[in-house]
Structure 1
Amino acid sequence: MTAARYLSLLFPVAAMLGAAVGTGRRARTGAALSFLAAALGVAGLTEIQSGWYSFAAVDGAFRGLPVDLWLGWAVLWGPLPVLLHRRLPLPAALALLLWIDLIAMPALDPLVRLGHHWLHGELLGLAVVALPAQLLGRWTGTGRRLYARVVLQMILFSGLILWLLPTLVFTLGGSGGWDRLLGLPGPVLAGFVQVAAVLGVPAVAAVREFAVRGGGTPFPWDPPVRLVTTGPYAYVANPMQLSMVAVLVLLAAGTRSPVLAAAALGAVAFSAGVAAPHEHDDLRRRHGDGWLEYRRRVRDWWPRRRPFEGIEPARIWLDDDCGPCAATRDLVAGRSPVRLDLVPAATHPTTLWRARYSAADGYSASGVAAVASAFDHVSLEWAYLGWLLNLPVFNRLAQLIADAQIAPPHPAGGAR
């Protein structure tokens, strides 16, 4: 059985290495992301599976899942078809994966014991694990569907950081556990979730800024093409890492795991001592003096009270004849916004139905999103409110409320 296990791992790894020969950096980046997505998905599928299959007790297992089988499965469902995407279209890749599993899964007995409904689990796995892994890898490898791959990356890294990493720590470190967190009284658990959400807002806002303003993703090998100094980056250089560490420390407290707290502090040390020099060299090479000026004024881990002076200059058009709009203008103007011009909507060359924000980098927004973007130019607490309002679901809800209760759309400016 041991030889069969190693052969089952060796074949997909060897095939992946062969397929990687001659591929470009972007293709390899897509393959790496697809491997992470498949590995996370396989682990999650094993946790929720309901009698579809079980594994023999072997050395080198994680929560009952043999690690070599886990890695082989992740390679097969992730990077191998991604690296072969030019010869293997997505429908054909999924059909091939199903065919391989239909042959391989029964042949792995007694390492893998199949239940009566294991095909249900197989089809679910292909739909919720293999398919997203393939989409993420293929879109990354070809530079397509920026917003879709950003969403998939957010799901991937949230799962890795907020579920798989703590689960590894609880399993291998021997301290803490999900049962301690889930065993908290209902109101305490609800408060815990709310605090975690508050701490996570800067990270989500930073990811949005990377996509919308920078044209890239959070993954270091699929980065923004433009230097991003707006949103959370106008206040702190590492908003994603800062949120991640804060949530992990909170999670360590909720699960009573000192090992997880140490892992969070270790992430800070790794980021500062190992990742930061490489990242700084890359950004200096790609963005030159603009990056150097930004780094002189914005710290890695301690946010500024006021935005970076080099934030993209912008204008916001607000209607002086609209009470709520004029109140918003006075609120922003009274706080000395940085590099933001407040302009009467009546002077806009075209008719505006809502407030309009326009930045020098080409970004524009209207309505609640315009006001939220303007808050970036004011101060940290107002910027945080703006980040929250600019998140997709919150933005839609806030716009509906504003249109119905605060300032209905009305014409201003232009030739009327």
Structure 2
Amino acid sequence: MTVARWLSLGVPLLAVLAVGARERDRAARGAALLAFVAAGVGIAALHEVARTAGWYAFAPVDGAYRGMPVDLWIGWAALWGPLPVLLRRLLPLPVALGLLLWVDVVAMPALHPLVHLGPYWLVGEVAGLLLVALPAQLLGRSGADRRRLRTRTLLQVGLFTALLLWFLPSLAFELGDGSWARLTGLNRTELLVLAQLALLTATPALAAVAEFVTRGGGTPYPWDPPRRLVTTGPYAYLANPMQLSAVVLLLLTAAVTRSATLVLAAVSAVAFGAAVATPHERHDLRARYGDSWRSYRRQVRDWWPRWRPYAPGPPAVLWLDDDCGPCAAIWRMLARRHPVGLRIRPAREHDRVLWRAEYVGGDGHAQRGVAAVARALEHVHLGWAVVGWAVRLPGVAWLAQLVTDAMIAPPHPARPRGAPCPTPSSVSLTAPSPPSANTASPASPHGPSPPPPG
């Protein structure tokens, strides 16, 4: 049994080290590390399901985490995560998954009596490959080749969420104090309030991730960073919005589960960020962005947000139909609050017909409708910015736009001053005919204006 454990750990790790030594691309090595973490967390979750389903179990041994030998866990994660990523040019994804299935089908029975297989263990193998190995490979391969930005960002968010809200608390409860029983013992109302607090806490982090993708062309992972300096969205108020949200979420979980170990983990995360991560990040960003970064860091702090946003460079523009009641009310509300780095212009002065409000940032980033107004709120102050970030959350923006179109201000072309503003009852549910050639506006560099809903 001892020899089997050493081989299960040593062979995959030696293979990863041998192949990794020939990989010169820093991004590929970072992606392989991320695939290792994803596979490790996924295998831990798979083990919990397997124990309940009876797919397989491990013999009681020293050096185990919740009944799973740690050496076998690490070797398994290396095999399912970084090794196929580093060999991606030789092993296409279907071939890699097929080989992983073959290795497990041969190795799992050979590991008896360390591993006890149930009658349906092959079901667990297929579930593991599809739910753990496949996502780890998609994450690692897309990061190594810098492809599918939105897909790899979504996978990263899923991984970091699982780490923060499930794996780290479970590890803290296993090694220290606290228990999930205190969370599961809450009634429905308490769970709903807690979920809302957690979502509110996570909103700046989610908005920051979106900002990295849409404005920076990168992801939150340090070895897959944005290609452009991001100083908009939450970064206009705080230099570390993701880290702050993560620490507060850990503290919230610690309070609910009564875990002093999680409090220690949160404090350790802050200390690591201040002593290790922040100096490295500053050196890297200073080298890449020079004076722009220095100017930003002189104005924006790491852990304590500004009240008014940092807004260098060309101002953003919000185009509103000033002769339509709802848009005019939004204009007056924003103007009274003196937004920073934002100009509001009548939609009729745009170079094309606008069917909805439009926001165009100083870098050319554009959004329309409710999302455009939410963007404009980021230019007021921190309180309104949080509202704007919440409105732009996935699903929330779609629902807000649907309600606005149906009940408040249906999409309509910006009209000359004095023309009546359409109401839901005055707008046909079918799309109007496109404008004639002699009235069409020139094409916009930001793409065509969205048609009204059909």
Q: Which residue of 1 aligns with 2:67?
A: 64
RMSD: 1.2
Give the whole-Å Cα distance in 2 for the aligned partners of 1:305 and 1:311.
19
Whichever residue aligns with residue 92 of structure 2, its letter is P
Do the aligned residues in 1 keep the contact of 2:232 with 2:311 (CA within 8 Å)?
no
Give percent identity, aligned residues only: 59
Q: Does 2:180 match 1:144? A: no
Q: Which residue of 2 aligns with 1:5?
A: 5
Correspondence list, 1:330-341, <5 A: 330-341=332-343
Whichever residue aligns with residue 34 of structure 2, its letter is L
3-state secondary structure, aligned to 1:360:
coil
Do the aligned residues in 2 keep the contact of 1:29 with 1:141 (CA within 8 Å)?
yes
Q: Give 1:89's match in structure 2, choosing from 87, 92, 95.
A: 92
Q: Does 2:101 match 1:101? A: no
Q: Which residue of 2 aligns with 1:300?
A: 302
Whichever residue aligns with residue 297 of structure 2, its letter is R
Whichever residue aligns with residue 296 of structure 2, its letter is Y
Deviation of the 1:108 alpha carbon: 0.7
5+ long unaligned stretches in structure 1: none
Correspondence list, 1:14-413, <5 A: 14-23=14-23, 24-49=25-50, 50-173=53-176, 175-310=177-312, 313-412=315-414
3-state secondary structure, aligned to 1:316:
strand
Deviation of the 1:187 alpha carbon: 1.6
- Of the two, which has the highest radius of gyration? 2
Whichever residue aligns with residue 198 of structure 1, its letter is L
Give the whole-Å Cα distance in 1 for the aligned partners of 2:399 and 2:15.
48
Q: Which digits, 9 at most, give the CA deviation of each residue in 1:118-172, with x for residues without a partner?
A: 1111111111100000000000000000011000000001111111111111101
3-state secondary structure, aligned to 1:213:
helix
Q: Which digits, 9 at most, give the CA deviation of each residue in 1:315-350, with x for residues without a partner?
A: 010001211011111111111011111000000011
Give the whole-Å Cα distance in 1 for the aligned partners of 2:247 and 2:152.
24
Give the whole-Å Cα distance in 2 for the aligned partners of 1:407 and 1:276.
46
Q: Which digits, 9 at most, give the CA deviation of each residue in 1:330-373, with x for residues without a partner?
A: 11111101111100000001111000111121210000111111
Do the aligned residues in 2 keep the contact of 1:54 with 1:113 (CA within 8 Å)?
yes
Deviation of the 1:311 alpha carbon: 6.7
Deviation of the 1:21 alpha carbon: 2.2
3-state secondary structure, aligned to 1:392:
coil
Q: Which digits, 9 at most, give the CA deviation of each residue in 1:205-238, with x for residues without a partner?
A: 1111111111000011110011111111111111
Give the whole-Å Cα distance in 1 for the aligned partners of 2:118 and 2:372.
55
Give the whole-Å Cα distance in 1 for the aligned partners of 2:313 and 2:132.
40
Whichever residue aligns with residue 48 of structure 2, its letter is E
Give the whole-Å Cα distance in 2 for the aligned partners of 1:396 and 1:186.
27
Do the aligned residues in 1 keep the contact of 2:58 with 2:114 (CA within 8 Å)?
yes
Give the whole-Å Cα distance in 1 for the aligned partners of 2:312 and 2:273.
25
Give the whole-Å Cα distance in 2 for the aligned partners of 1:387 and 1:243.
14
5+ long unaligned stretches in structure 2: 416-434, 441-454
Give the whole-Å Cα distance in 2 for the aligned partners of 1:235 and 1:311.
16
Give the whole-Å Cα distance in 1 for the aligned partners of 2:101 and 2:279.
43
Whichever residue aligns with residue 386 of structure 2, its letter is Y
Do the aligned residues in 2 keep the contact of 1:234 with 1:311 (CA within 8 Å)?
no
Q: Which digits, 9 at most, give the CA deviation of each residue in 1:300-327, with x for residues without a partner?
A: 1111111013276210100012110111
Deviation of the 1:185 alpha carbon: 2.5
Give the whole-Å Cα distance in 2 for the aligned partners of 1:310 and 1:126.
48
Number of aligned pairs? 415
Give the whole-Å Cα distance in 2 for the aligned partners of 1:165 and 1:105.
28
TM-score (norm 1): 0.98
Whichever residue aligns with residue 219 of structure 1, its letter is Y
Q: Which digits, 9 at most, give the CA deviation of each residue in 1:71-111, with x for residues without a partner?
A: 11100110000000000000000000000000001111111
Give the whole-Å Cα distance in 1 for the aligned partners of 2:298 and 2:249.
27
Give the whole-Å Cα distance in 1 for the aligned partners of 2:191 and 2:367.
36
Q: 1:251 to 1:312 in 2, by over 3 A?
A: farther
Q: Which digits, 9 at most, give the CA deviation of each residue in 1:260-289, with x for residues without a partner?
A: 111111111111111110011111111111
Deviation of the 1:22 alpha carbon: 2.5
